[in-house]
Amino acid sequence: GESVGLHLPTLSVQEGDNSIINCAYSNSASDYFIWYKQESGKGPQFIIDIRSNMDKRQGQRVTVLLNKTVKHLSLQIAATQPGDSAVYFCAENIGGGADGLTFGKGTHLIIQP
Amino acid sequence: EAGVAQSPRYKIIEKRQSVAFWCNPISGHATLYWYQQILGQGPKLLIQFQNNGVVDDSQLPKDRFSAERLKGVDSTLKIQPAKLEDSAVYLCASSRTGFNQPQHFGDGTRLSIL
């Protein structure tokens, strides 16, 4: 089965609220995680990454949290805007020399006006 | 900097025909990846190149798929013969050399098999 998965296929939030998108992974050897945003008809767009020696990383309006104890990753988006509507994927790399990523199925974030 | 370029954007072929996709990575990125994204799913790695050498092709269906990166820059992915289940978006990504470098994706080629 997949080693990376997401809890919810769709998440609906009000514009201006904070969004939290969750991801569970099963491979404890994973050492690098990335969040991507994918809009319709486009390729995945890099949002933020985190290495396994960290538990939190912040970017512009986004924060990624990593809990290695329960193998859980989350993406927090502050003050959600209409342009944040997209499918969000978490992806992991299990190292070992090859850097190909394993993706989950994605969460569709819908912004309500 | 310019992003990853892919062509064509769309391709429609009949089953058992052949098709090729082209990718030009971000300038200076030595590592190049091809992913397959079936509708409603996340991308799945097909092959990874480091310069012109293959690093990982364990998930590439080698009986019908082939890829090359002869001069270590542009890459082509070919399917011959195509099957109905090959209908998907084929994404190319590139990254700088080194472990745990973020991968940057192109907008992909959407392939439909009739």
* A78 reaches B (C-beta below 8 A): no
- Residue of B4, B50, B55, B105 to mutate for A, most A C-beta atoms under 10 A: B105
Residues A99, B102: C-beta atoms closer than 8 Å: no
Question: CA B101 to CA B107: how far, in whole Å?
Answer: 19
Q: Is the pLDDT of residue A1 over 50?
A: no
pLDDT-based confidence at A2, cuts 50/70/90?
Answer: very low
Of B31, B44, B106, which is closest to A99 when you measure between CB atoms? B31
Name residue B104's beta-bridge partners: B94
Which tokens hold the place of B44? Answer: 């799945």
* A96 reaches B (C-beta below 8 A): no
Residues B42, A89: C-beta atoms closer than 8 Å: yes
CA nearest neighbour of A24 among A66, A69, A73, A64: A73
Backbone angles phi, psi at A47, to 5 degrees: -110, -60
What is the 8-class DSSP label of residue B103? P
Question: CA B49 to CA A23: how far, in whole Å?
Answer: 28
pLDDT of A10-20, one tens digit each?
999 999 999 99
Residues B100, A49: C-beta atoms closer than 8 Å: yes
Query: Which amino acid is present at A38?
Result: Q
pLDDT of B79:
98
pLDDT of A96:
58
pLDDT of A21:
95
Which tokens hold the place of B34? Answer: 């091809």
* A25 reaches B (C-beta below 8 A): no
pLDDT of B72:
87
Which tokens hold the place of B58? Answer: 């364990």
pLDDT of B69-113, one tens digit each?
988 899 999 999 999 999 999 999 999 987 788 999 999 999 999
> Span B60-65, mean pLDDT?
96
What is the percent of chain A where pLDDT is above 70? 89
Residues 6+ away with beta carbon under 8 Å from B63: none
Residues A43, B40: C-beta atoms closer than 8 Å: no
Q: Is the pLDDT of residue A26 over 90?
A: no
Q: Is the pLDDT of residue A87 over 50?
A: yes
